[in-house]
Structure 1
Amino acid sequence: MSHHRPRRGFTLIELLVVIAIIGVLIALLLPAVQAAREAARRAQCVNNLKQLGIAMHNYHDVNGTFPPGRKGCCWGTWNIFILPFIEQTAAFNAWNSYGNNVSGPDGTHRYFGVVNRTVANMAISTLLCPSDSGTNSSNPVTATMGNVKYECRFRNYVVNMGNTNIGQMNFPAASSTPQIIFLGAPFYDMGSPNIDIPPPSTYYPGRNTRNLVGVAAITDGTSNTLMLSEVIIAQGSDLRGFTQWGDATGFMSNTGPNSTTPDMSDWCNNQPPNPPCVFLSGGFNGNDKFYAARSKHPGGVN
């Protein structure tokens, strides 16, 4: 009399069914996991903006005004001025923001000279959006533009420069009439340091931008006025997101967030994955540079 042992394990068909079920579960769970991760990244991005907003107001409490968007072309931007208020006092103290010579002996602009290179290349998490995984955000980039070497680290957060182009004038540059720059917002240019002459400044003819803005000057109220937003860090020889450079420290509201209208810049690379842009050449004019607020968040721009 023979006895059959009980069958153990799966048949091939049963195994295939189990694999199919596991595959379906993974397909259902993966988007949920990705959505949860993006929600966490977006929450971190919002928290970064809150920290920067608090830093701006703390700067105002100490100095009586908000920081300038930039200090001339090459002497530092609002990123530098708020460092003591985001627990980066040592970096701020190491920054040299004065001097008349725009280039150092090694051929780099002064904010990338030896004295400032360490600060310019610091990775500060408060200035980076975790949803933007651009290589420029994680590693310093060395690029050569116009025979000048740039060694820099990029950032995601920018200040509101209003609804006019950078340097937009009410008269052509060749006009003998004194030119007026439409500032449009608290954060623009306070002029170049160590040039102790009355306005108009010689840095850009006809520009008088030395008056900084405090809360009292924001007549719509601070709760109705946008201070900060974000941009996508571009790749290659593209200065969008390069916030040590004065022009890239802000966004303009000429167009909406994540606009399909290309940005306009004299340092941009209109190749994917970069945001759309139109390359400009020439100096300041009425059709000058502007940058839209942009992000990689599925739900829009913070």
Structure 2
Amino acid sequence: LLLPAVQAAREAARRMQCANNLKQYGIAIHTYHDVWNKIPTSTCAHSWNDDWQGARPSFHVVILPQMEQQPLYDKIIWNRNATAVVSVNRGSAAPGWGCFSGVNGANGVVHAEEVQVPYAMCPSDATNAQADWLIAQTSYAGSGGSQLTPSITGSCNIFYDNVINNANPSLSIFYHEVLPGGNAGHGNTLEQSQISGMFNRLGMRGNLNFGAVRDGTSNTIFLGEILGECTDHQGGGWWRFNTAANGFTSTSCPINIFTTCAGSGQEAANKGYPYNGITSMPDCTSRQQWNLSMGFRSRHPQGCQFVFGDGSVHFISQSVNYATYQRLGGRRDGQPLGDY
């Protein structure tokens, strides 16, 4: 009889630690903004041609000093030629831009992507902290907001026409009649106008600061929880740009969709849905069905934790009204929020 109570108490403690991690991120983003008058960029891209080089770090790396990791930050070599192709994968022959100059790694290099920072994992997340080629993992991702995340299979683009405009399905998320921006698939753009939320995959031209959050920082999601095993990108850790450590995790996918999670096979109906009339999922279990996989999710019962732009941490139920969730993701939709 005591076991359920013990398990509940342990989960409550894990959830509190997870919330504290997110609170630390919120404070760090504000501290960074105080110094640079912008939020930390998703990447350090210099041009479109440079966008796909895996050596570029995520915003997690940019805010290391604000996360009390200055010694780690100081060991990173940043003097990379913008057009050079330098790999930071384990086994590189020489330290490159974004690598440590150290002695304990392969070929005399300790790579930053192998270092597990203490706040990066939620205790409720059972993902191996270094599951993917010794790459250190994270349970937290920046929010791209109500952003397009097309699946590799067209029939698995579930949350397009079913976003907000039920009365006129032809006005889909592609055009964002209600929510501005968000039309660049997976956040693959450098333009702020094409991003619904606060982060994107490739970084943005210009400084995106708190002044751009026209809905108010207390009404806008900045970061939330993820599970690394649920998509081919989210297992890439806290370091690299081409992972969900950056901001192309989207609110377009409802909270706690586990269809693409390893060994799960759970459908929407099993998680307390439907959403907008969707009662079950088609066979979309591949981790490359990004419309389903690039969402926020956690192992907390019935919901997920987020840090908003004002630094406050909120637990949002997986049964939250879908339109409300999209408006929490967007930074400038100008629409009133419902309860959440």
Fold shared by both chains (TM-score > 0.5): yes
Match of residue 15 from structure 1: none
Match of residue 228 from structure 2: 233
Match of residue 256 from structure 2: 258
Contact 1:165 1:289 in 2 (8 A): no
Contact 1:102 1:110 in 2 (8 A): no
Q: How far apart are residue 274 of structure 1 and its match?
A: 9.2
Q: Indicate the SS of the match to 1:125.
A: coil
Q: How far apart are residue 80 of structure 1 and its match?
A: 0.4
Deviations 1:51-100 (A, max 9, x none): 11000100000111000122234311110011111110011111234423
CA distance in 2, matches of 1:124, 1:227: 20
Deviations 1:186-224 (A, max 9, x none): 212565xxxxxxxxxxxxxxxxx3223111111011000
Contact 2:259 2:265 in 1 (8 A): no
CA distance in 1, matches of 2:33, 2:199: 13
The range that moved more, 62-71 or 36-45, is 62-71
Which has the larger Rg? 1
1:133 lines up with 2:126 in the alignment: yes
Q: Which residues in structure 2 correspond to 1:178-217 (within 5 Å)?
A: 182-189=194-201, 191=203, 209-217=204-212
Residue identity in the other structure for 1:163: S
Residue identity in the other structure for 1:36: A
Match of residue 63 from structure 1: 36
Match of residue 9 from structure 2: 36
Does the C-alpha gap of structure 1 residues 300 and 280 become closer, same or farther in structure 2, counting only changes over 3 Å?
Answer: closer
CA distance in 2, matches of 1:233, 1:260: 12
Match of residue 45 from structure 1: 18
Q: How far apart are residue 50 of structure 1 and its match?
A: 0.6
TM-score (norm 1): 0.65
Residue identity in the other structure for 1:239: H
Q: How far apart are residue 299 of structure 1 and its match?
A: 3.6
Match of residue 243 from structure 1: 238
Q: Which of 119, 122, 125 is 2:112 aligned to?
A: 119
1:89 lines up with 2:70 in the alignment: yes
Return 5+ residue gaps in structure 1 as ranges. Answer: 1-27, 143-150, 173-178, 192-208, 263-269, 282-286
CA distance in 2, matches of 1:98, 1:36: 48
Contact 2:113 2:238 in 1 (8 A): no
Q: Which of 269, 280, 295 is 1:292 aligned to?
A: 295
1:278 lines up with 2:286 in the alignment: yes
TM-score (norm 2): 0.58
Contact 1:121 1:140 in 2 (8 A): no
Q: Indicate the SS of the match to 1:127.
A: coil
Q: How far apart are residue 290 of structure 1 and its match?
A: 6.1
CA distance in 2, matches of 1:239, 1:171: 17
Contact 1:154 1:243 in 2 (8 A): yes
Q: Indicate the SS of the match to 2:77.
A: coil
CA distance in 2, matches of 1:210, 1:158: 20
CA distance in 2, matches of 1:259, 1:41: 21
CA distance in 2, matches of 1:60, 1:112: 22
Contact 2:120 2:238 in 1 (8 A): no
Does the C-alpha gap of structure 1 residues 218 and 181 become closer, same or farther in structure 2, counting only changes over 3 Å?
Answer: closer
Match of residue 157 from structure 2: none
Does the C-alpha gap of structure 1 residues 114 and 274 become closer, same or farther in structure 2, counting only changes over 3 Å?
Answer: farther
Match of residue 196 from structure 1: none
Deviations 1:254-297 (A, max 9, x none): 121112565xxxxxxx631699753549xxxxx88961001001
% identical equivalent positions: 29
Q: Indicate the SS of the match to 1:44.
A: helix
Q: How far apart are residue 114 of structure 1 and its match?
A: 5.7
CA distance in 2, matches of 1:30, 1:163: 40
CA distance in 2, matches of 1:57, 1:278: 37
Residue identity in the other structure for 2:6: V
Does the C-alpha gap of structure 1 residues 223 and 104 become closer, same or farther in structure 2, counting only changes over 3 Å?
Answer: closer
CA distance in 1, matches of 2:24, 2:263: 31
The range that moved more, 288-297 or 37-46, is 288-297
Q: Indicate the SS of the match to 2:239.
A: coil
CA distance in 2, matches of 1:127, 1:59: 18
Contact 1:111 1:120 in 2 (8 A): no
Deviations 1:147-179 (A, max 9, x none): xxxx4111011111121136999699xxxxxx9
Residue identity in the other structure for 1:67: P
CA distance in 1, matches of 2:86, 2:57: 14
Match of residue 216 from structure 2: 221
Q: Indicate the SS of the match to 1:68.
A: coil
Does the C-alpha gap of structure 1 residues 290 and 131 become closer, same or farther in structure 2, counting only changes over 3 Å?
Answer: closer
Q: CA RMSD in A?
A: 3.5
Instruction: Count how many residue pairs are aligned between Structure 1 and Structure 2.
Output: 229
Contact 2:287 2:293 in 1 (8 A): no
CA distance in 1, matches of 2:98, 2:28: 25
CA distance in 1, matches of 2:78, 2:292: 25
CA distance in 1, matches of 2:265, 2:35: 38
